[in-house]
Amino acid sequence: MRLLLVVAAALIDEDGRILITQRPTGKSMAGLWEFPGGKVEAGESPEAALARELKEEIDVDVDPATLVPFTFASHRYDAFHLLMPLYAVRAWTGTPTPREVADVQFVRADALADYPMPAADAPLVTAIQRAFTKAAFL
C-alpha cells in the first residue's frame, strides 16, 4: 500500500482559536473541514511543504523554522495510507483568506468536533482538545 505524507497546521490566533478550512467543491471529501496543509512534494521538507501549502491555500506566510511539531495522524484509506504530522503555528504574516479552499474559520478547540472532518483528522482533534484542556498547547 502506498504511503502518502501530508502536512497540516493548527494556526492558533491570539484568542486561542484554531483555524480550519473547508474542502472545495470538486475535490474528494468536498465540504468537509480540515486543518490547512497538503502533500509533501519530492525533495521537499515537511516544514517547507507546509509553508508552501499555507501560502497557496490561505495566503499566509510562515517561517518554516517557527513551526512546532505537535502530533500526527496515521490513517488507512482504501487506496493509500496517510501519515500526517500536525504543526502548531502561532506566528504568520497575512490574513487567512480562502484561495484553494471553500472557507476558513477560527474555532475554539472544544468546538472542533462540531465540524464534519475526514476520518484521518479525528486523532488530531482529540490531541488538540486534550492539550487545550490541560492548558499545555503551545
Q: What is the CATH number of the domain that holds 92?
A: 3.90.79.10
Quick one: which of 35, 133, 39 has its CA closest to 88? Answer: 35
In a domain, 110, yes or no: yes
C-alpha cell at 75: 490513517
- Number of domains observed in the structure of the chain: 1
Q: Residue 98 — left, alpha, or beta (φ > 0 → left; ψ -120 to 50 → alpha)?
A: beta
Q: Residue 29 — left, alpha, or beta (φ > 0 → left; ψ -120 to 50 → alpha)?
A: left
In a domain, 45, yes or no: yes
pLDDT at 112: 97
pLDDT at 137: 47
Q: Residue 119's domain spans which residues? A: 2-133
pTM: 0.92
In a domain, 138, yes or no: no
In a domain, 51, yes or no: yes
Q: How confident is the model at residue 138 (pLDDT cuts 50, 70, 90)?
A: very low
Q: What is the pLDDT of residues 72-107, one digit of tens each?
A: 999 999 999 999 999 999 999 999 999 999 999 999
